[in-house]
A and B are shown apart, each in its own frame.
Chain A
Amino acid sequence: MPTLTIDGIQVTVEPGTTVLQACELAGKEIPRFCYHERLTIAGNCRMCLVEQEKAPKPIASCAMPAADNMVIKTDTPLVKKAREGVMEFLLINHPLDCPICDQGGECDLQDQSMGYGKGASRYDENKRAVNDKYMGPLVATTMTRCIHCTRCVRFAQEVAGVPELGAIGRGEDMQITTYLEQAMTSELSGNVIDLCPVGALTSKPYAFTARSWELRKTETIDAMDAVGANIRVDVRGREVMRVLPRVNEDVNEEWLSDKSRFAYDGLRARRLDRPYVRKAGKLQEATWPEAFAAVAGAFKGLQGSQIAAIAGDLACAESMTALKDLMEKLGSPNLDCRQDGAKIDASTRAGYIFNSGIAGIEEADAILIVGSNPRREAALINARIRKRSLTGKVKIALIGNEQPVLTYKYDYLGAGAATLKDIAEGRHAFAEVLKTAQKPVLILGQGALARADGAAVLALAKQAADGLGLVKDGWNGFNMLHTAAARVGGLDLGFVPGQGGKDVTGILAAAQSGEIKAVYLLGADEIDMSKLGSAFVIYQGSHGDAGAKRADVILPGAAYVEKDATWVNTEGRVQLGRRAAAPPGDAREDWSIIRALSEPLGHKLPYDNLGMLRRRMLQLAPHFAAVDKLTPAAWGAFGTAGTVTDAPFVSAVADFYLTNPIARASATMAECSAIARGITQPKTGTHD
């Protein structure tokens, strides 16, 4: 291992480390623009110049491998002069428009010119001007500010896997653009905004709405998909101004999907900000006591078996705990958190989580994707699979109705359960690949389970996992990919039919036949509302979507950034979300609504604050104590063997941008969706 001296400090580094990384290990700050630890090395900004003893010129530390006995100096007059020179060159064509630039206040160029620049320029000529480029509805461009670090180009090529950005022209005429200014076709395109060290690529929805220093920043958890990306929500007043990713190597690294980043404008639209009660066929504004009285009136005289509850995709663990307890007290076994009807077996935890962990994908050497389009269902997990795929050490195969572009190569094996059966029974060639792999992975999507023969498909997957050695000492490669942030938490807490209870399909059938007379929808909007028959429907949620339209009583709840709440991601990782903004109007945190409702119903729930409720959650599922950690789950029996049909597996997510009530309320997401479906021609922006 090379040992080198940096400003008199000796450091020993791994072979292959760059001088820049070695300097960081020695605690020396090296300014940089083009270098980014998650992207390939470009070496074109020259900001990271340092002095190397016996070298004739300063060296670009980001591109120089650390070698034994190197003597590096980062604080000499030569280095200072070199940095000043580079900075002066970079600023030759950079406009002085910081006061009107959205990057102002959080700009690498601003900071580094303060720290390492000279403070004045000797350049008197006119600055160059560059036409702005259209890159879609999410990324605003001011290309005159671009310093050609090519981070965005490398991100699109390497991480997102959509080589659509490039640098055309050369020298002074070099410009970053997409091919003929088309919108980027990536679910991760928003990340180029974070990567851009200057204000060339900024957020279009956020443009000119706030300055970074007037925002209150809250670190919380994303609920747009089951990945549970770590986010920071920036709020001014009570309005969410933007959402940014936080670093969590095990979950989202430092990326964020476009839905998680840009659906926040849906938090302002179609909000339920006061209770409603349906009177004479029309929903009318009401007070909380009126709404509660209406619910109590409807529940009066009903038996437990005539009541049902369904939890939606965004529900937090707290509200599901409270609702489960309430249903128990009402004597109802009819509750389900699997609103898509997925035949998941809640009895064995290892049977419904992503056991290897998201980071575990980077060790996998064989991956079989069944009934899922990970790019649409969990864009960040797809990025992980791509990352692994780029190492060339993994074989990937897919079973599903279509052959989507997933940004990596895979073998398409078949459309449906027959192929899975062949693999499970060892007749298929890919079975051998899984069998001989050290760390094989099976990713089972909801598309394979949310169907009549879902339980049998699950049993087949279990059979494959057992027969092909997916579960072994120190490795569990059985991975269920969920699409809803609420799902694993609901399953963990046992928000599933009790003794003799009905699941979602059963509840809907019973509601249609009149057997079930009251249905409590906890943010459940993706069920077929027409099947609710004449049942009395209580909708608790944040947005006026399908559920609220059908409801007889609406109880306005808080959206995911408006409450202190717990979510469990698809890996089974328990994560705490924190309240970043207040819910609008009369809306309240969801668990407290259920707690308040329990009193007029005559079944007062025994918790008066969040702490007491969370102690109750620990009783139901002790692993809720292990926040941010993965609790390994014991392998056991799950799934019900049976006959499977020939119907192909269809991904659970048809439109990445419109999966939940918040995203459907978002104008930004609607625009993205329209462009992705090719419905509207993108606006061509301001060029020519």
Chain B
Amino acid sequence: MSGVHIAPPEQQPASFAFTAENLELAKQHIAKYPAGRQQSAVMPLLDIAQRQHDNWVPQAAIRYIAEMLGMATIRVLEVASFYTMYNLAPVGKHFVQVCTTTPCWLAGSDKVLSACKKHLGINPGETTPDGQFTVIEVECLGACVNAPMLQYGDDFYEDLTEESTGKVLEALKRGERPKPGPQSGRLSSEPLGGATTLTTFNPAGNAGGGDD
């Protein structure tokens, strides 16, 4: 059965502290809230901790944040375990989140997953033996119009097929960073078969929208 997966004690670092840069950032977040309400900053702080610590939040960071915000440790753990975006156990260097909610599934997310299996040799929820890749299934990431899609870091790779997913993964393996966004060549979330309106409208100096 599923449940909250917290890394076992032997994987937990003994201590955690923000880098000077991140501490500054954390202070900025805390300063957004009135005195006595600094607990409101718990989510951004957890996010900073996760980014600093190889994409997962160790228990030492939870205690560190609890102390920083004057919260009970269990209250921070409650937040960290409630939101699926926080990883409480180590993940691979490349963290691939494949959306399999209904729109993506209808548009072929199974193919995306099978591409992951083919190119990385792992099923959703697993990490490659070399610790390079972790693939997980996630619920809707809000990019249904470009389904199916996956999230890598802060970027979305959209309009995927088995083939284009493979290309993205192979590029990641080589240490490259493929261009995010639709992999089918379409711009943003324009209609799939090309524009259907404003086809004759072409003001000078404006050849089209951005691709982000």
Residues of A in contact with B (beta carbons under 8 Å apart): 128-131, 157, 163-170, 172-173, 175, 177-180
Contact = CB atoms under 8 A, between A and B. Distances in A.
A166 B3 contact: no
A131 B3 CA distance: 10
Interface in B63-92: 72-75, 77-78, 81-82
Given A164-B74, A167-B78, A169-B82, 18 more contacts: A163-B75, A164-B72, A166-B72, A166-B74, A166-B75, A166-B77, A166-B78, A168-B74, A168-B78, A168-B81, A168-B82, A169-B4, A169-B81, A170-B81, A170-B82, A173-B4, A178-B74, A179-B73
Q: Which 8 residue pairs spanning A and B have beta carbons closest together?
A: A163-B72, A166-B74, A168-B81, A169-B4, A179-B74, A166-B78, A170-B82, A179-B73
A168 B73 contact: no
12 contacts: A128-B1, A129-B1, A157-B72, A164-B72, A166-B72, A166-B78, A168-B74, A168-B81, A168-B82, A170-B82, A175-B3, A177-B74
A172 to B, nearest CB: 8
B144 to A, nearest CB: 22
A178 B59 CA distance: 14
A169 B75 contact: no
Contact of B3 (A157, A169, A179): A169
**What bracket does the count of chain B residues touching chain A fall in?**
10 to 19
Nearest to A128: B1
Contact of B77 (A128, A129, A157, A179): A179
Contact of A173 (B3, B72, B75): B3
Nearest to A169: B4
Contacts of B4: 168-169, 173, 175
Contacts of A129: 1
Nearest to B9: A180
B74 A165 contact: yes
A175 B81 CA distance: 10
Contacts of B78: 166-168
A165 B2 CA distance: 21
Nearest to B74: A166
A575 B115 CA distance: 76
Interface string B3-14: 110000000000
A301 B6 CA distance: 76
Nearest to B83: A170
Interface in B137-153: none
Nearest to A129: B1
A131 B77 CA distance: 17
A158 to B, nearest CB: 12
A129 B3 CA distance: 10
Contacts of B77: 166, 168, 179
A131 B4 CA distance: 11
Nearest to A168: B81
A175 B4 CA distance: 8
A159 B73 CA distance: 18
A180 B81 CA distance: 12
A163 B77 CA distance: 12
Contacts of B81: 168-170
A170 B82 CA distance: 5
Contacts of B1: 128-129
Contacts of A173: 2-4
A163 B73 CA distance: 8
A165 B4 CA distance: 16
Contacts of B82: 168-170
Interface string B78-115: 10011000000000000000000000000000000000
A130 B1 CA distance: 9
A209 to B, nearest CB: 31
Interface in B18-60: 59
